[in-house]
Structure 1
Amino acid sequence: MTRAETADEGRETGVSSRVSKVFGCVTAQWEQLIALDPTFADAFSRFLEAAYDSDELPPHIRELLLLAHDASVTVRDQGGVALRMRRALDAGASRREVLDVLLLLPFVALHGVTEGLPLVYDVNSYEVPAATKGAYWRPFEDKFPGVHGMLAEELPGFFDSYRRLGRAVWEHSELEPKWRELALAVADMSTTHLFSQGAALHVENALQYGATRRQAAAALALTAVFANTAVELGVAALESTEQA
């Protein structure tokens, strides 16, 4: 074997190792990518590993945060959900913690209402409802002034149901509050959503609950792992076209 062949084999082994770390295996699409463009495959696998592999997050939490991303209402990556759920459980997450993450995600669908109501009503015309006064809700009121007031006055049934849903989720959770908040931050900052105002609120809450800034940064970096989907889909389509 020549020196060049040895180097190529070593690079391919490195790519496979990094991809397996992030996704658990090397798919047919990754094997094809390595064959098509080994230089890109090497660089991309390093990028994905860097986004994924942080000592700041326990392994099961990392998988739970990726689950929050992939299961979010704007992503809905069925394969990703199955992968991250299995890997979270294998890494030591409880079934309840997995469920806790999934039960948080309906709140992402609320953003259509919170962003839409100010298009209908004047946010300055509403007071903070008694139900959402106090220190816990103050950051929300600061970032979304008038929204709770509009909900309570204009959509009272929806507001009551929203409050009841929140209590059901937050009062019966095994997952630590800081991780719940970071799960919502990751869902908000998915490439398909990019709701930075909501993510800012959840990062702030996570820090209040004891998360470090490095943990928050590592959580947000996980959103970049989704870049793999574009490449795998594209390579699969290219392969299909060539076989047609």
Structure 2
Amino acid sequence: MKTPNTRSNGSDSFLLLLQVSNSSFPTGSFSHSYGLETLIFEGAIHSPASAEQWCRNWLRFGVACGDGIAVVAAFRRTLYSNMDGMGKLVQLVEALKIGRESRDASAKTGAAFLTACRDVFKIPEIDRLDTSLKALGMRPHHAVVYGVAGAGLGFTEQQTIETYLWSSLSNIVSVVGRLLPLGQTDIQRILKEAAPLIDQSAEIARSRDEAHMCSMNAALDAASMRHERLRTRLCIS
């Protein structure tokens, strides 16, 4: 498959869009529950309906208001060749990850995504991001790397944020599906019915600037903090 060297929206970019948003793209996200494993262990998540509600809340009140805004901000900075403020953006993302495990999960998946994009696609903007963050002693959080890669690969802003949100939801639902008796049909139904939520979350991410990034899901933040004290764990976070 030919890798485009310019920012275009042709068929090559569409195929790349499918590739980077696929669950098989090596980020390690399948190892992270972001606190949901704690809620399953404690009984708060116990059925397909409760799993769906918690996953939707995680996306709407956590990802959309925090990482989603960071994706768009990183995309715009890269698109307009204004990457000098990436360090500040990464600091904001890290500061909003209250739980240590969630913070580490974001950085680990970001590092894996950066390495894959650098080695597979040879994106100059990814090299610049990697160099600048290493010089600042900062970790490459997933949302920021995804935004940079989206611009570098020629995706539109809408494509970039929607695929980030969809792949985030798809990954977390799949993780929950491994921890609960949740069938593949339930998983696919949850994803299908989340389309309006994806649109809403994308609009939130695109309409707010990075100064308004926040995390509005204290219950999941607290669950993430309790995760490391579980007696048994299948997920890293």
- Work out whether the TM-score is over 0.5: no
Q: Which has the higher contact order (CA 8 A, sep 6+)?
A: 2
Relative to the length of structure 2, the TM-score reads 0.31
Higher radius of gyration, 1 or 2: 1
TM-score (normalizing by structure 1) = 0.30
